Structure 1
Amino acid sequence: MIEEILQFDTELFVYLNSLGSTNFDFFWLSLSRPEANIILYLLVLMLYISIEPNKKSFVINLLLSIIILVTISDQFSNISKDFFQRLRPCFNESLIDSIRLVKDSCGGKYGFFSAHASNSFSLAIFFGLLLFKKNKLLIFLFALYAFFISYSRIYLGVHYPIDILIGVFVGIVNGTFIYGAYLNTLNFFNK
């Protein structure tokens, strides 16, 4: 059963990766850079802080929550990669002639699960929930943005679809959990 799932995952990866075009490589490479998340969410963070009451405990709690969010997401991905040791497609010798590797380098040897997917969805869900009362549409826009970042990893040839799906799941759970912890901490300081 697991072998069939992994075979399907490989076939789906080869198909999706083959849809790429050199005309769009720059776009997908740009989305895959860490700055793609950092710049967007720094702007959102600055906007949010500017429209909320500037209590010191509020800003500190928000910044600590974001640091914890990204740290958990990133480190859990690293632990998972070391534990499962699933080769990235670009390190899989049997696939080298079947894929488009857009990046100059492949990254680390192992790819399960995608830290890009986990980090981008953690941030999307956290900020989407944070701003939900102000604009309910933002959570969907942030999730769409995170989806494009996640898909870029398949396009570039460095992650299988299952790597992405598990990263998305972990990111959604992490973003929701840290947002809940953020609210509890905020309520504690506002007593």
Structure 2
Amino acid sequence: MLNALLDLDRQLFRFINTDCTNAFFDWIMPLMRNPKFWIPLYIFIIGFCIWKYLKQGAILILMLCLAVGFADFTSASLVKKQVQRLRPCRDPVTTATVISRVPCGTGYSFPSTHATDHFAIAIFLSCLFYRRWKWVAPALVVWAATVCFAQIYVGVHFPLDITCGAIYGSLVGWLFAVGFKKWQPGFRA
């Protein structure tokens, strides 16, 4: 059963990485997965939260950073080292056909830390702001999913890496949002 799942994962990877190839994706997807590309968004989130919510906004940003730090550390330093799944660009089954649009990366593949981190951000902020701004949650999930899709498209992660990273990151984001609400019961977005 595990082999069948891994075969399906490789087929879906091949579809996204190879069959979906087009000039626009070749240009935009390497940008979408690059954390530096999103610096203006991160600055906006920090500035908005502090401007709008003052001390509670600073605590919110602190909790968001803790959520991402926890998600990143546990994903990259604990789970990846235990699972040790090779990246598509190093996997003997896919390495000959993978289209590498960015350098392969040095670490293991499962779970995707990009997916873990971005879904932790998306779900944390969605849990805090969905009542006031209904559009925030879908926008953040689409943003995180786009970053995740880009990871597959450029050839550095399998879909299963992304899916599990997104689920784990969502759980971390939700738990830290619950913690923030308990710590700051008067917070109203």
Is TM-score (shorter-chain normalized) higher than 0.5? yes
Shift of 1:37: 4.1
- Letter aligned with residue 4 of structure 1: A
CA distance in 2, matches of 1:123, 1:161: 20
CA displacement, residues 122-163 of structure 1 (integer Å, 9 cap, x when unaligned)? 101111222222201111100001000000000000100000
Secondary structure (helix, strand or coil) at the match of 2:179 reads helix
The number of residue pairs the alignment matches comes to: 185
Q: Percent identity?
A: 28
Structure 2 residue aligned with 1:64: 62
Structure 2 residue aligned with 1:13: 13
Contact preservation (8 Å) 1:126, 1:175: yes
- TM-score, normalising length: structure 1: 0.90
**Runs of 4 or more above 3 Å deviation:** none
| Aligned Cα root-mean-square deviation (Å) | 1.8
Structure 1 residue aligned with 2:126: 128
Structure 2 residue aligned with 1:88: 87
Shift of 1:106: 0.8
CA distance in 2, matches of 1:37, 1:126: 17
Contact preservation (8 Å) 1:37, 1:120: no
Structure 2 residue aligned with 1:139: 137
Shift of 1:22: 3.7
CA distance in 1, matches of 2:129, 2:43: 14
- TM-score, normalising length: structure 2: 0.91
Contact preservation (8 Å) 1:61, 1:185: no
- Letter aligned with residue 86 of structure 2: L
In structure 2, stretches of 5+ residues that fail to align are none
Structure 1 residue aligned with 2:47: 46
CA distance in 1, matches of 2:115, 2:21: 19
In structure 1, stretches of 5+ residues that fail to align are none
Contact preservation (8 Å) 1:31, 1:148: yes
Secondary structure (helix, strand or coil) at the match of 2:184 reads helix
My pick for the range that moved more, 35-44 or 148-157, is 35-44
Are 2:68 and 1:34 aligned? no
